Chain A
Amino acid sequence: MNEEILISGRMNPHIDPTLGIWGWEIPLYLFLGGLAAGILFFAALYSLLGKEKELPTAVRKATFLVPIILMVGLGALFLDLKNKLYFWQLYTTIRIESPMSWGAWILMLITPLSMAWCLSYWRDLIPNWTWQLKFLEWVEVFVQKYRKTFAWTMIISSVILGIYTGILLSAFNARPLWNTSILGPLFLVSGLSTGAATIMWLSKEKLERSLFSKIDLLLIGIEVFFIIHLFMGFMASNAAQIEAAQLFLGGAYTLPFWGGVVLLGLVIPAILEVMELRGKHIPVALPAILILIGGLVFRFIIVDAGQISQYFY
């Protein structure tokens, strides 16, 4: 048998045998970014479609979570930095070639945007509220007046944010598992689906719930299609990508991925939602939680496995 053995004299226990420099922070950040993008996307979409009354959770209630989600996400990104005191260097340049850079900038844009959106609905939450700060009242009135423009900005920036969470990884040609352009759309759809699941979970209206249940079903379908596409692409690609795909087709990540992400995070919630739509009584929290956990595990697995996949030379 033709064999090849590599012996490395690299005395570097901190980076060998793999370069696992990204721990839990980056996958969590990617998950929360996608989730926030999903919620904001639907809020803006249904606000533009004039469904504010019929879909109160999507347009208003769920968005109150977004600033918190984004803060935690940014916190995770911050923790990932090895030189935390220098984080401001991110905001001294815009580097179009670097996804990390425009990710940092899009978050800088979307966080205040989501806060302003929440402010404009604050009186829903506490009807007789009076603002202590004149500025906040001004923001409230401003957003209410220009809601359409705000919604459009939010739709566009949430799609960019959702796609970015995938492109951050797919831009690395050194990691064959990540280096596929389907990762951007796949992470976007997965983010939208976690957003829809959250809205469905929070909603008290029957109509809204069943709408988001249907949306979720559609998104799960697209996700499964993208995942098949992803592996078809790998198998038709070069040796490095075939090797990377093997991690999921018999390798160490086979069970966590097909069992934890595809079955528990996509197929089972889809079945539960179909049953619910057919009139069976199923607690809505169940599929929602499964989808959210599935989305989180998905990011952990992709980030982890990608760091193992390499070129051989």
Chain B
Amino acid sequence: MRYAMIIDTKKCVGCSDCVVACQNENRVPIGYCRDWVIENAKGTFPNVSIELRSERCNHCENSPCVRCCPTGASHYENGGLVMVDRSKCIGCGACVQSCPYNARYSHPDGFVDKCSFCNHRLKEGKNPSCVSVCPTSCMYFGDLDDSESQVSQLLKNRGWKVLAPEVGTKPQVYYLI
């Protein structure tokens, strides 16, 4: 089992429904978020292009956040999920510094929090809430070890990228381009 999320930048309209759905589902305190939308415009006028990306923790295969955690609170779980054990986290902030994607934040209740791929929903056989709520259905979730799965097929047939591969974290959120 190797979980992955795929986001189609060609279909995303930047509505931020995924952000609100996550805040609701995971009781993210007001003023914080586990996912966010980036609008990236580049080029020289009139040759400009725009890319919309919904970003979150990439559940990296080689995660610096798990490596640097002094207590083992940040850890891997089934399917390669990167999770934070709240009862072990001392809030030292090392993992926040270690994440090249700035995916973590310090929760006001004294632990570090981030996207969990809605692990509690996965256990019930549901998709993460951002994936289920997206009005353009631009997000996909599944198992990369299964070559027949939708996510495997998408990566086979479409062009894709991951964010900042040069940092060597092996992110598991893929963007179709």
- List CB contacts (< 8 Å) of B83-105 with chain A: 87-94, 96-100, 102, 105
> In the complex, A8 Cα to B35 Cα: how many Å?
11
Q: Which residue of B lies closest to A23 (CB)?
A: B93
A278 interface contact, C-beta 8 A: no
Q: Which of A4, A100, A306 has the largest number of chain B CB atoms within 10 A?
A: A100
A101 interface contact, C-beta 8 A: yes
A133 interface contact, C-beta 8 A: no
Q: Which of A77-85, A113-121, A189-197, A264-272 contacts B (4 or more CB under 8 A)?
A: A77-85
> In the complex, A14 Cα to B102 Cα: how many Å?
12
Q: Given the interface contacts A86-B88, A313-B163, A313-B164, does A11 sit within 8 Å of B93 by beta carbon?
A: no
Contact partners of A104 in chain B: CB under 8 A: 70
B41 interface contact, C-beta 8 A: yes
- List CB contacts (< 8 Å) of A74-99 with chain B: 80-84, 86-87, 89-90, 92-93, 95, 97-99
A126 interface contact, C-beta 8 A: no
| Contact residue among A9, A19, A98 (Cβ-Cβ distance under 8 Å from B94) | A98
B167 interface contact, C-beta 8 A: yes
Least Cβ–Cβ distance between A99 and chain B, in angstroms:
7
Cβ of A13 and Cβ of B100 under 8 Å apart?
Answer: no
Q: Which of A30-38, A64-72, A149-157, A167-175 contacts B (4 or more CB under 8 A)?
A: A167-175
Contact partners of A14 in chain B: CB under 8 A: 31-32, 105-106
Q: Which of A4, A82, A311 has the largest number of chain B CB atoms within 10 A?
A: A82
Contact partners of A6 in chain B: CB under 8 A: 38-40
Chain B 17-43 per-residue mask, 1 if CB under 8 angstroms from chain A, else 0: 001000000000001110011111111
Cβ of B93 and Cβ of A2 under 8 Å apart?
Answer: no
> In the complex, A84 Cα to B109 Cα: how many Å?
11
Can you name 19 A-B residue pairings with CB atoms under 8 Å?
A: A4-B40, A6-B40, A7-B39, A9-B16, A11-B31, A12-B32, A22-B93, A22-B97, A82-B112, A84-B110, A86-B90, A87-B90, A89-B73, A89-B88, A90-B71, A98-B68, A172-B98, A306-B97, A307-B97
> In the complex, A100 Cα to B42 Cα: how many Å?
39
Taking Cβ atoms with an 8 Å cutoff, the residues of B that contact A are 14, 16, 19, 31-33, 36-44, 64, 67-73, 87-94, 96-100, 102, 105-107, 110-112, 163-164, 166-168
Contact partners of B68 in chain A: CB under 8 A: 97-100, 171-172
Contact partners of A311 in chain B: CB under 8 A: 100, 164, 166-167
Cβ of B105 and Cβ of A89 under 8 Å apart?
Answer: no
Contact partners of A238 in chain B: CB under 8 A: 166
Cβ of B93 and Cβ of A86 under 8 Å apart?
Answer: no
> In the complex, A93 Cα to B92 Cα: how many Å?
15
Q: Given the interface contacts A90-B90, A310-B102, does A9 sit within 8 Å of B42 by beta carbon?
A: no
Taking Cβ atoms with an 8 Å cutoff, the residues of A that contact B are 1-15, 19, 21-22, 26, 80-84, 86-87, 89-90, 92-93, 95, 97-101, 104, 171-175, 238, 306-307, 310-311, 313
Cβ of A310 and Cβ of B100 under 8 Å apart?
Answer: yes
Least Cβ–Cβ distance between B107 and chain A, in angstroms:
8
> In the complex, A310 Cα to B97 Cα: how many Å?
10
Q: Given the interface contacts A11-B19, A174-B100, does A82 sit within 8 Å of B167 by beta carbon?
A: no
> In the complex, A9 Cα to B91 Cα: how many Å?
26
> In the complex, A107 Cα to B112 Cα: how many Å?
24
Cβ of A81 and Cβ of B33 under 8 Å apart?
Answer: no
| Contact residue among B72, B91, B96, B168 (Cβ-Cβ distance under 8 Å from A95) | B72
| Contact residue among A1, A82, A87, A101 (Cβ-Cβ distance under 8 Å from B106) | A82
Contact partners of A101 in chain B: CB under 8 A: 70-71
Cβ of B97 and Cβ of A172 under 8 Å apart?
Answer: yes
Q: Which residue of B lies closest to A101 (CB)?
A: B70
Q: Given the interface contacts A95-B70, A238-B166, A313-B163, does A80 sit within 8 Å of B39 by beta carbon?
A: no
Least Cβ–Cβ distance between A85 and chain B, in angstroms:
8
